[in-house]
A and B are shown apart, each in its own frame.
Chain A
Amino acid sequence: MRIEAHPVLNFERGEKITFFYNDKEVEAYPTETIAAALHAAGVRKLGESPELHRPRGLFCAIGNCSSCFMIVDGEPNMRVCVMKVRPGIRVEEQKGKGVIRT
């Protein structure tokens, strides 16, 4: 859910775009990070831990803690809390350690 009315802030979000989360089309605004756009769509589980396969969400939102790693356009270990959403990108849950394409 997005904040519509705020006493201090005025959100200028621009034109709506869409991207893909696990092959499902999701609406977003270009001002948002991937993590924020997913939160707005009600998605808080971003991946699974490598060994116990426990669900992982974001923790720091400043690109510091590595909890939010996802696969973006096939590339793993992307810090989606600081990565802006772009039209048409394909974002997938990362299960465990990412595999880097060769």
Chain B
Amino acid sequence: MKTVEILVIGGGPAGLCAALSASALGAKVLIAERDEMPGGQLVKQTHKFFGSEKQHAGERGIHIGQMLLENAQAEPNIELWTSSCVLSIYEDGVVTIEHAGQHVKVKPERIIIATGAAEKFLGFPGNDLPGIYGAGAVQTLMNVDGVKPAQRVLMVGAGNIGLIVSYQLKQAGVEVEAVIEGSSKIGGYLVHASKIQRAGIPVLIKHTILEAYGDGQVEGAVIAQIDECWQPIAGTERKIACDTICLAVGLSPLTELAWQAGCEVAFIRELSGHVPIVNECLESTVPGIYCAGDVSGIEEASAAMVEGRLAGLCAAVSLSYGGAAAQTLIDDAKQELDELRAGSMGIHIREGLEKMALKSGQPKSEDDTLKSKSFAEIKSTLISDGIATADDIAAILPTPERFAKGPIAIAECFQEIPCNPCVKACKAGAITMPGDINDVPVVNGALCNGCGLCISLCPGLAIVVVDQTYSEDMAIVRLPYEYVPLPVVGTLATGLDREGNALGQFEVKKVTSGGKKNMTYTISLVVPKALAMDVRGVSVV
């Protein structure tokens, strides 16, 4: 039987970070990854991540995954087993793994369960037809295998996965008919919704799917509006012709191994289902077994990476590695998690963790700073469709005097999400966030020189630069662009408004690459001055 100090189950963002932090303190770690390729869901995340620099914000998920994997492969204290499925955790602490065609027994001193989550399903007639996929499955087909999964898609669910995968489908040249969402609000980040609206993909709130139809495979769906009780409203049914229906209706933590190991598991709705109860160090009720990432509650990958790091540190410290300095690292990780969860989008997680803390016998103190924070509620229809209203824009519009002075950045970022690469991007110090990373950015017109560095560095593609001084009657709008083909300088391209409507054909003045890793282009369009605050997208097809 093989012995190991720490066994990490799952080589996704949480597992890799757990292995890296534990091994850095000196612990010997074995990672068992079920798939042939470690990286978990990072291997298909082509979009830029949010968060702060500490969680690699602004970098694309695929690049973060590659970096974590390379670091793990270079670390002598880490042994990485791929195509190795953990089968069971026995009462005596022995773990069995299907590895290299063998049934292998491993006896670890500590276990970190980082098994992640699986996509939820939805009940409706015809939901078993070929052509109905988890949104993540379509993402795998397209971004890992390079296969066009469909021609026309209906996306069900406007959380971050539904919005992001819709955008990525568009990038792969697939038409998305609509994103439907049962709730009255968009669940994902509004910048993602704005991005797909600009691409002409409508987001329909208070809608559900009634059935999928087709002979042998999906040929379409019937959708309908729903009332306050989530019941379909008669007469609002309509058919959407599509060959694929993507379900992006949430994730379920993959807790089987935690159950099996005897960890106490509780149903906590805010954390997306049954989750193992863990303490502040992410240790479960079974001493020596830790849980990190989505397995103990569904969150963003940035949080999973920090949780992994925290669990790795705590497990290594419990084996007497790290010394006094390790405590600082642990405190840093906890603080980062608090920061990521402090915004308006972290309310669910905070409520869920509060319930978990009660169950683990470590209730949070009453003076918890997170509880006392108030959030700016988005009152306009932006919250339900991702399209900034005239009032939203008026609130951030530079003065005519400032416009007269030259180009200026306009950050159409209205929601308190944990993200701050724009602040770092601005060399002039013109973009600030008054509080923490959950605040919305403020552009200081006196300091902004309109250089446009922020355009391609904003993970939400929410910043544009407008130059009203270009000529007598024309302005230049500089926009982020992540599609193929690229517009060609000197030719005409279609300018789109915030809903994806064509506003006209405009001259492409400049096309600037964001760099080999950034991969976001900045397109300068010459538009009539009157349209400078309306043109927000560009299309060449």
Q: Name the prevailing secondary structure of the A interface residues.
A: loop
B482 at interface by CB-CB < 8 Å: yes
**Interface: B299 (CB within 8 A):** no
- Please give me the residue from chain B that is nearest to A83 by CB atom: B36
**Contact B482–A7 (Cβ < 8 Å):** yes
Please indicate the chain B residues that have their CB under 8 angstroms from the CB of A31 in the complex. Answer: 145-146
- Interface residue? A39 (CB, 8 A): yes
Interface string of A37-60 (1 = CB under 8 A from B): 101100011100100001111111
With a CB–CB cut-off of 8 A, which chain A residues contact B35?
62-63, 82
Verify if B129 is at the interface (C-beta below 8 Å from A): yes
- Chain B interface residue count, CB cutoff 8 Å, equals 40
Q: Which of B133, B173, B519 interacts with A59 by CB under 8 Å? A: B133
* B483 and A62 contacting across the interface, CB-CB below 8 Å: no
Whether A58 touches B146, Cβ cut-off 8 Å, given contacts A8-B60, A64-B118, is no
A65: contacting residue among B62, B118, B131, B143, CB under 8 A: B118
For A36, list chain B residues within 8 Å (CB).
Answer: 141, 144-147
Closest CB-CB distance, A38 to chain B, in whole Å?
Answer: 9
Q: Does chain B have a CB within 8 A of A100? A: no
Residues A61 and B140 in contact, CB atoms below 8 Å apart: yes
Q: Assuming the A-B contacts A3-B148, A11-B146, are A59 and B137 also in contact, with contact meaning beta carbons closer than 8 angstroms in the complex? A: yes
Q: Is B400 an interface residue (CB 8 A)?
A: no
Are A3 and B137 interface neighbours, CB within 8 A?
no
Asked if A24 is at the interface of the complex by the 8 Å CB criterion, the answer is: no
- Asked whether A54 lies within 8 Å of B128 as measured between CB atoms, the reply is yes
A13's closest neighbor in chain B, by CB?
Answer: B146
Q: Using CB atoms, name the residue of chain A closest to B130.
A: A57
Shortest distance from the beta carbon of A77 to any chain B beta carbon, whole Å: 14
B119, B130, B484: which contacts A44 (Cβ < 8 A)? B130
A39-B172 CB under 8 A given contacts A45-B217, A61-B134: no
Contact of B128 among A7, A37, A46, A56 (CB under 8 A): A56
CB distance from B539 to the nearest CB of A (A): 13
- Sample of 15 A–B contacts (CB below 8 Å): A3-B173, A7-B484, A9-B46, A31-B145, A31-B146, A36-B144, A57-B129, A59-B132, A59-B137, A60-B119, A60-B136, A60-B137, A61-B134, A62-B118, A62-B140
A residues contacting B by CB (< 8 A) are: 1-3, 5-9, 11, 13, 31-33, 35-37, 39-40, 44-46, 49, 54-65, 81-82, 84
Q: Rank and list the top 6 A-B pairs by shortest CB-CB distance, nearest first.
A: A57-B130, A36-B145, A61-B137, A11-B146, A61-B140, A44-B130
17 additional A-B pairs beyond A3-B148, A5-B485, A9-B46, beta carbons within 8 Å, are: A2-B146, A2-B147, A3-B147, A7-B484, A9-B143, A9-B146, A33-B145, A44-B217, A56-B130, A57-B130, A57-B217, A58-B130, A59-B132, A61-B133, A61-B136, A64-B254, A81-B137
